[in-house]
């Protein structure tokens, strides 16, 4: 479960689709993850966040638009969800979940939906895209955990899959359902607490689009170990999502 390393405090309205998700597991452990509002009734996140989720009522708590200095006040939506749909997951392949909200969210300048990738952005050179990640995850590479009070973001680049599959990196474990993004030299990354959050990219003069979901990685911000993200444009994942989002 991942976090933003060497990120910057996000300003108001900067990531208006970002959700904070708190999950109570069957072993009573509390897990924190991120998500993205992709429709007025649906939030997309990572499937592994919901492993061993408790069957108790209100085991999943979602907050949209947070006052950036407090995770419990000034929220446009705070509550649970009607259900969680999870794509088949094995070794983080197709690591995606859909959360259905009990009612539609009212969008405004604080809360907006994030577009899914279109043909124009997919036909471009992904390495040249302006891409960012965001989350409330731990901000320390080593030592004790330190969760920020403020939403943080960082700029990353989508990296070539063949490069990420080299023996010095992920040893051919990056599948067609994954993207790797970050900095090859390390230093900037997502990590613990950021799982499920957005890898968002855009072309010049175009809206932000959800290219990936924070999923896994080798350590945090390490050289030759960029973050691994669920690839939203994968045909398997795209077809699965179409059952929920028309």
Q: Is 210 exposed, middle or buried (0-12, 13-18, 19+ CB in 10 A)?
A: buried
Q: 82 in a domain, yes or no? A: yes
> Distance between CA 219 and CA 190 in Å, rounded?
10
| Model pLDDT, residue 137 | 82
Together in a domain, 93 and 140: no
Q: Which segment of 67-71, 150-154, 223-227 scores lowest on mean pLDDT? A: 67-71
61 and 26 fall within a common domain? yes
Given the residues 36, 59, 75, 95, the one annotated as active site: 95
Q: Quick one: 93 and 127 in the same domain? A: no
| Domain match, 193 and 96 both | no
Q: Which residues lie closer than 8 Å to 166 by C-beta, 6 or more apart?
A: 224
Q: What is the DSSP letter of 75?
A: -
Count H helices, E strands: the chain?
Answer: 3, 14
Q: What is the pLDDT of residue 205?
A: 84
State which residues form the domain around 106.
18-113
The answer to whether 188 and 155 are in contact (CB under 8 A) is yes
- Report d(CA 140, CA 115) in Å as an integer: 31
Is residue 214 one of the residues assigned to a domain? yes
99 plus 197 within the same structural domain: no
Tell me the pLDDT of the chain averaged across its residues: 84
**Do the domain assignments include residue 2?**
no
Residue 40 tokens read as: 């007025």
What does the pLDDT look like over 94-112, one tens digit per residue?
899 998 888 888 888 888 9
CA dihedral 97, 22, 67, 102 (to 10 degrees): 60
Q: Is residue 244 part of a domain?
A: no
∠ CA(119), CA(84), CA(110), 5° rounding? Answer: 65
User: Which is the catalytic residue, given 39, 48, 225, 234?
Assistant: 48
Would you say how long the chain is, in residues? 246
Residue 125 sits in the same domain as residue 227: yes
Question: Are 181 and 71 contained in the same domain?
Answer: no
* Model pTM score: 0.89
Same domain assignment for residues 57 and 142: no
Is 95 one of the catalytic residues?
A: yes
Is 3 contained in some domain?
no
Say which residue the tokens 């390490």 belong to: 222
- The domain boundary, picked from 113, 144, 171, lies at 113
User: Measuring CA to CA, how many Å separate 236 from each of 172, 178, 200, 216?
Assistant: 19, 11, 20, 19
Among the listed residues 195, 215, 225, 234, the single catalytic one is: 195
Instruction: Check whether residue 118 and residue 229 sit in a common domain.
Output: yes
For 10-61, how does the pLDDT look when each residue is reduced to its tens digit (9 = 90+)?
887 889 999 999 898 889 998 999 999 999 989 999 999 988 888 887 788 8
Which has the closest alpha carbon to 49: 10, 15, 99?
A: 99
CA distances from 69 to 73, 148, 151 (A): 9, 9, 9
Tokens of 49: 């966040």
Beta strands per DSSP E along 136-241: 152-159, 178-182, 198-202, 209-216, 227-231
Residue 240 lies in a domain: no
Residue 239, in any domain of the structure: no
Report how far residue 53's alpha carbon sits from residue 66's, in angstroms, rounded to the nearest whole number.
Answer: 24
Please report whether residue 223 resides in a domain.
yes
Q: Which of 66, 90, 113 is the last residue of a domain?
A: 113
Q: What is the domain-level CATH number for residue 212?
A: 2.40.10.10
- 195 flagged as catalytic: yes
| 59 and 122 together in one domain | no
| Judgement on whether residues 72 and 134 belong to the same structural domain of the protein | no
User: What is the number of structural domains in the chain?
Assistant: 2
Domain boundary among 87, 113, 139: 113
Q: Are residues 220 and 121 in the same domain?
A: yes
């Amino acid at each position: 479960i991942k976090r933003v390393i060497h990120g910057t405090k996000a300003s108001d309205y900067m990531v208006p689709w970002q959700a904070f998700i708190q999950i109570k597991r069957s072993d009573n452990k509390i897990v924190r993850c991120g998500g993205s509002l992709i429709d007025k009734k649906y939030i997309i996140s990572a499937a592994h966040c919901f492993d061993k989720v408790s069957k108790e009522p209100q085991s999943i708590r979602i907050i949209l638009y947070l006052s950036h200095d407090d995770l419990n006040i000034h929220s446009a939506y705070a509550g649970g969800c009607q259900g969680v749909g999870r794509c088949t997951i094995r070794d983080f392949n197709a690591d995606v979940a859909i959360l259905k909200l009990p009612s539609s969210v009212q969008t405004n300048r604080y809360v907006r939906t994030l577009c899914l990738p279109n043909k124009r952005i997919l036909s471009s050179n992904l390495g040249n895209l302006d891409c960012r990640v965001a989350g409330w995850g731990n901000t320390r590479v080593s030592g004790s955990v330190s969760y920020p009070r403020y939403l943080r973001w960082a700029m990353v680049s989508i990296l070539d899959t063949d490069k990420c599959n080299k023996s010095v990196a992920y040893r051919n474990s990056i599948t067609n359902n994954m993207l790797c993004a970050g900095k090859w030299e390390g230093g900037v990354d997502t990590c613990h607490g950021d799982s499920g959050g957005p890898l968002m990219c855009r072309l010049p003069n175009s809206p932000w689009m959800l290219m990936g979901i924070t999923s896994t990685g080798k350590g945090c911000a390490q050289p030759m170990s960029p973050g691994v993200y669920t690839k939203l444009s994968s045909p398997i994942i795209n077809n699965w999502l179409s059952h929920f989002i028309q």
